Structures are given as structure tokens and as C-alpha cells.
Structure 1
Amino acid sequence: MLTVDQQVVVIDRRPTLAPPKTRASVRNVPIPAVLADALAEYIDRHKPEDVLFRTTRGNLVRRDYFNADVLKPAIFSAGVPVDMTFHDLRHTFASTALAEGVPISEVSRWPGHESITTTVDLYGHLVPEASERARTALDHAFAAALRLT
């Protein structure tokens, strides 16, 4: 799990650490084993004192720096559409989790949505099979109950 409990904000043109915007923004987000392993190796090699990543000059990473110097080169190297944004990664994460059957109530917490309604509004169309799963679950429950009588 990755804990989100700080963010970089710019005050007087200087990046500084601050708490996230809302109570819901403080959260634990599951990460795949391959990422956990890569982060553990990075931490072991670099031994960061407070935050995982800084610029080459040792500053906190601002969004504009990250987009220009980290994300865009990675997008180019990966061969994905060049208009992809960091926010698209959030959508991919949530969409993939829902496609794999993770309950929307769980997925709702991970992007830091204040309400499950936000998640349903954004991603509800990705779980149309939920009705079929509910019907199947009810069929199994009633079939089991009928066998007991």
C-alpha cells in the first residue's frame, strides 16, 4: 500500500510540503508488487530522508517539472499516446480495478473522492455486469436455500 498523506504545494513560487486538500485525500492506495519492489529497491539505494523523489537540484518536485521532465519522457519511451496526462493514470487505475471486479466502494477511496457518488458518476458505466453478478448471486443463494428445504 502507498500512503498519501502529503502533497507539494507552491507558496510564493516555492514548493513546500502540505497536507492534502481534504480529509478524503489522506488515503492508502494499493500498488502492484512490481511497483512495491521497484520502490523498495529505490529506497534501499537512495535512502531518502523525507520524500521519495526530488529534482536533480534537491528540490521538491513541482507538477510542471514532473510533467515536463519525468512524465512526458516516460510517455514517449513507452510509446503511449503523447497527449496522455497524469490524471489519465488515475482513470486507468480506477477503470482497471473496476474491470477486475473490485467493488466500486473500495475503488472510491483510492483516488481520494469525497463521495462514492463522484466515483459512480465517473466510472459507473464501467460496471454494467454488476446487475448480472447480483442476479447470479441471488440465483445461487435461492438455489442453495431451496436445496435445504
Structure 2
Amino acid sequence: MDDIDVDAGVLHVRRQLKKVHNRLVFALPKGEKERDVPLLQHLAKRLQAHLDEFPARPVTLPWGNPDEPESDRETEERAPQTHKLVVTAAWGGPVRRDSWNERYWKSALVAAGIIPVHPESHPTAIRRQVLKFVPSREHGFHALRHTFASVMLDARENPEAVSSWLGHADASITLRIYGHMLPAADGRGRDAMDAWFEADS
């Protein structure tokens, strides 16, 4: 919760949930570095409404590695940390990525008509919402990240800023993946050069 600054419109990305040896730990975000990303006002309102109904819950996990430490240094480095999570499982613990994808994300995609239920899903399973889904890699939860980057670049946001928000090592990676989303030239550069020459004349 201390990572959400509604007043400043910023999300502080300081850690992630990561699966190591089939156990969950807290770890540094992508690229092993913290970063700040813009918090949209629309999202801030939805987030606040969610928290009003489902308050964040404290979750304690090891840092980086769940294995038993073998030295004082490892004991210190892997010391458990407690952080309040906005989304938790019904029992109050962290939600695993595969569980989130299967039970919530893909079910929502089915409800929206984006992906179909697998034809082998049994009617009883459908009623209980224990579904099989047609494989849809392009519709995974990671697609939201691509959507964010694409919308930002299409709106002519600075590629360096978008790269920083995504946690890429540099903007060249961002442009290699999303460069096709940049709008075609529309005369802005020409107008800028004309204005530059006019100012000098």
C-alpha cells in the first residue's frame, strides 16, 4: 500500500511476487531495479473502490530465495518481509500467477467473448467455473503490458519514459518491440524545422 501514491499519480514498483523452486518470494522487479510508473486517475478510482470493499492484507514471504540459508549473510539477505497486497487469495495469502490466469483472467476473457471455452470442458465444470481454455498465448495477462506500451507510444509519449516504466534496460529494446506502434510522420517534424528557421530569420 505504501507503493501507491494517489495524490502524486504514481505507482512505485519496488518488488514483485516471484516463484522460485515452486515457492513464492518477494524479489526486485524486472531488470532488478525499482521504478515509478504513472497511476491513471481512472485506475486510481477503481483501485480505491476495490480497497474500500477488500482492504489490502499483509503477506509475509522470504526475500529472493526460499531455500534454507547456509550463512549469516544469506540469513540476512533472505529475511522474510511483510507487505500489504492489494489482491490476495480468499484465504488471505498471495495469488499464484497460474491460479490468477486460469481462475480469473481467462474466465473474464471467456465472459467478454474474447476466447472460447475448450470444447472438452464438461458441463458440470462449466457450471462450477472450473474450465479448460483454448490456448491463447496472445491473450495472456502479459497482454496488458503490451497494451500500455502501445497506447503510450501511439499517443507520442517519450520512448525513453515508456522504456523506464516497462523496466527495459534502454529505449532501443522498447522501440525494437513496439516501434511499429509509433504514429506515421504527419508533418510535425517539418513544422518544427520551419519554426526553427523562422525564429532565426
Please give the TM-score of this superposition, normalised by the length of structure 1: 0.83
Distance in 1 (CA, whole Å) between partners of 2:187 and 2:176 is 20
1:17-36 correspondence runs (5 A): 17-24=26-33, 26-36=34-44
Show the counterpart of 1:7.
16
Write 1 or 2 for the structure with the bigger share of strand.
Answer: 2
Larger radius of gyration: 2
2:163 to 105, 108, 120: 108
Distance in 1 (CA, whole Å) between partners of 2:165 and 2:24 is 25
1:37 Cα deviation after fit? 0.5
Show the counterpart of 2:79.
none
| Cα distance change, pair 142–23 in 1 and its aligned pair in 2 (3 A) | farther
Please give the TM-score of this superposition, normalised by the length of structure 2: 0.64
Write 1 or 2 for the structure with the bigger share of helix.
Answer: 1
Count of aligned pairs between the two proteins:
145
Show the counterpart of 2:172.
117
Q: Is the CA contact 2:149–2:162 (under 8 Å) kept in the aligned structure 1? A: yes
Q: Is the CA contact 2:18–2:26 (under 8 Å) kept in the aligned structure 1? A: yes
Task: Give the SS at the match of 1:8.
Answer: strand
Q: Is the CA contact 2:160–2:170 (under 8 Å) kept in the aligned structure 1? A: no
Show the counterpart of 2:103.
69
1:10 Cα deviation after fit? 2.1
Structure 1 stretches of 5 or more lacking a match? none
Q: Which amino acid aligns with 1:29?
A: V
Aligned alpha-carbon RMSD (Å)? 2.1
Q: Which amino acid aligns with 1:4?
A: V
Percent identity among equivalent residues? 35
Distance in 2 (CA, whole Å) between partners of 1:79 and 1:133 is 39
| Cα distance change, pair 145–110 in 1 and its aligned pair in 2 (3 A) | same
Higher relative contact order, chain-length normalized (CA < 8 Å, sep 6+): 1
Residues 1:99 and 2:154 are matched in the alignment: yes
Which whole-Å deviations, capped at 9, do the CAs of 1:26-80 have from their partners, x for residues lacking one? 2222232221101112223322141111111222111101111121112222333
Structure 2 stretches of 5 or more lacking a match? 1-9, 59-83, 117-135
Distance in 2 (CA, whole Å) between partners of 1:58 and 1:110 is 29
